[in-house]
Structure 1
């Protein structure tokens, strides 16, 4: 790209909502901006917004204004599909506020509620959905019976399932009262119904299951059945995770990315 091609970096940053053009110029001079991994300090720098990757203070910036990133608190009874061939309730009802054609990143079973990401960014969706890239998810499971610390240790040490061994990245007992317990599990696996199968294998079938976290995103107080666009901070965190994960996947051939379910 010649000096006269592309768009000035400070203009691109301002258009992306980073800050005013003058403040963006200050960021450049201070060495806070990287383009394709290299620090840029020249105010005359031009870039191609369609292909160059830019970050500010290590946080990725989306330069394409046509990309949409939506957080949905999927309610139970809804299948993770944009069109269900069996006529069951699907995700289309939650995307009516956006003109773009959105699709879900991974899946949650119909009986599982919680955080689901919808986007039209195919590259990001691939990285986030495929378990080989190690993006973690946090689930809260209400299970039958009183879970012991020994059972929590089994979950993190690893258990054997019919399709091979599995271990939670993290597990903790949040509550045990009466005949039920609340267990928090952190996993990067995408194997089908993995949380339910793990808990059943240690003798505590799942009664209710919610995904509270997906990578850097937290469900927070978003009500069931509601969707919203990610904030600038959330979007940057998600893009940063995707860009960091993509170059160095740690492959688990048992986990098909398109079948990320709980």
Structure 2
């Protein structure tokens, strides 16, 4: 069965349909050596090139859909390769048997939490496009004097350098003193948007964890650096939100891990790090000096802190109050919380 050329290329993760239509119209796409035209349909037995580079070979038009949930730790880049050889989110992913992994909504290096990956480029583009209004929920630890007026402003309109923005919902979920946890809901994904919104009202986000994307919540069983496959039901929930048709079980890539098994892949840099220990000078080497030891210890504490946080189903209540993160929340001279945050007023 033939399909439109731009639809097939979008599914391969080469761009959005509209963007690919522009590439086809400009004569940059060829099918079996012949320049393609808008409206062309292709079968599964052709070779497609973009700017002279092969982007599809026979048998690649039909890629079974697979979606992963990954618990990203802080310190990893959402990119395939880094020129400085820093850790990336792809270091802990399994090999995609068909196609390649495409992330859905990047997270910056200092943000942790839920990151979805798929082999279906068209699905990835749809889930990231603002027109679908896909909800992203973040747990943010906010430092500063948070007032009722500030929360109201954040839910209406805040002027940022790239245009007005707002949270669809802000909900207080825990914390005391000047370190408070909030759930912040957005329906778009601009760069550092959560942090910039809070900064616009005089506060600072000291921790940021994405806990939900498109109604798919971060699995509390996943520790940082671990992943699992989404079930057929979860994948179809995302497809419906993106305006795509549901898939039958036979159209979703079969793996032994489709039973929501939690997994992890060894960090390929770990052997290199271990081999360097004791073989370099202490000063400025990034491995053995006191500052480096302190940073590694701090990283372990933050990971423990986040693991406890994620396992608490309410993300911010109860379980977090006994961790090191909240021990410093009660400071002498801290201002009393406004009535907005008192018990019974947390469903804002």
TM-score w.r.t. structure 2 length?
0.50
Aligned-pair distance for 1:244?
6.0
Match for 2:86 among 63, 72, 88? 88
1:138 matched residue in structure 2 = 137
Match of 2:225 in 1: 225
**What is the DSSP-based 3-state SS (H/G/I as helix, E as strand, rest coil) of the residue aligned with 2:242?**
helix
Whole-angstrom distance in 2 between the partners of 1:70 and 1:229:
4
Instruction: Give CA-to-partner distance per residue, 1:68-102, whole Å, 9 cap, x none.
Output: 10011111000111222332111222222543421
CA offset digits 1:114-170 (Å, max 9, x no partner):
111111101100101122321110001001124232221111011111121111111
Give the match's secondary structure for 1:151: helix
- Secondary structure of 1:243's aligned partner: coil
Distance 2:132 2:72 in 1: 24
CA offsets, 1:206-233, max 9 Å, x none?
1000000001210030221111100122
**Contact 1:152 / 1:173 at 8 angstroms: preserved in 2?**
no
Show the counterpart of 2:190.
191
Matches within 5 A, 1:139-158: 139-158=138-157
User: Which of the two has greater strand per residue?
Assistant: 1
Aligned to 1:168: 167
User: Does the CA contact (< 8 Å) of 1:140 and 1:185 recur in 2?
Assistant: yes
Asked if 1 retains the 8 angstrom alpha-carbon contact of 2:63 and 2:119, the reply is no
- d(CA) in 2 for partners of 1:136 and 1:156? 14
SS at match of 2:199: helix
The equivalent residue for 1:28 is none
Q: Which residue number in structure 2 is paired with residue 71 of structure 1?
A: 69
Which residue of the partner structure matches residue 111 of structure 1?
110
Structure 1 consecutive aligned stretches of length 4 or more whose deviation exceeds 4 Å: none
What RMSD, in angstroms, separates the aligned Cα atoms of the two structures?
2.0
Shift in Å, 1:178: 1.9
1:235 is displaced (CA, Å) by: 1.1
Q: How does 1:175-254 map to 2 (within 5 A)?
A: 175-221=174-220, 222-243=222-243
